[in-house]
Amino acid sequence: DQQVKQNSPSLSVQEGRISILNCDYTNSMFDYFLWYKKYPAEGPTFLISISSIKDKNEDGRFTVFLNKSAKHLSLHIVPSQPGDSAVYFCAAVIQGAQKLVFGQGTRLTINP
């Protein structure tokens, strides 16, 4: 039972363009949604989060949008840079449970 799904295993974007990574979820009890970035041989690093009571959160080049009615969130990166090439994980926290549930990840490649 995959509660958090990232249906695109990979995405390739040209440098300078917008990257849009998508995530769908099934559990209405999720409290927070987080995006993590992961380079090879390193642990996931926190990128940006959004509370379930918000519909948008922005931090520099990164913006996360939450559509609760569709149970969908997306991460926008603009402009995309070569250093953004990594695996991106969507994760969610269940109310009161204090543990992260992860999606499968999307490998983002930024082409020069």
Partner 1 sequence: NAGVTQTPKFRVLKTGQSMTLLCAQDMNHEYMYWYRQDPGMGLRLIHYSVGEGTTAKGEVPDGYNVSRLKKQNFLLGLESAAPSQTSVYFCAIGQGSSYTFGSGTRLTVV
- 43 Cβ contact partners less than 8 Å away, ≥ 6 residues apart: none
Q: What does the chain come to in residues?
A: 112
The CB-of-61 to partner 1 minimum distance in angstroms stands at 20
- Would you say 75 and 64 are in contact if contact means Cβ atoms under 8 Å apart? yes
Tell whether residue 49 is a contact of partner 1 (CB under 8 A).
Answer: yes
Q: How many CA atoms lie within 13 A of 4 on its CB side?
A: 23
Tell whether residue 27 is a contact of partner 1 (CB under 8 A).
Answer: no
Q: Strand, coil or helix: what is 59?
A: strand
- Among positions 8, 22, 74, 104, the unique one binding partner 1 when judged by CB under 8 A: 104
- Among positions 43, 60, 83, 112, the unique one binding partner 1 when judged by CB under 8 A: 43
Residues forming a β-bridge with 45: 37
The CB-of-42 to partner 1 minimum distance in angstroms stands at 6
- Among positions 24, 25, 35, 44, the unique one binding partner 1 when judged by CB under 8 A: 44
- Would you say 3 and 27 are in contact if contact means Cβ atoms under 8 Å apart? yes
Tell whether residue 65 is a contact of partner 1 (CB under 8 A).
Answer: no
Binding site for partner 1 (CB under 8 A): 4, 6, 9, 31-32, 34, 36, 41-46, 49, 51, 89, 91, 93, 98-105
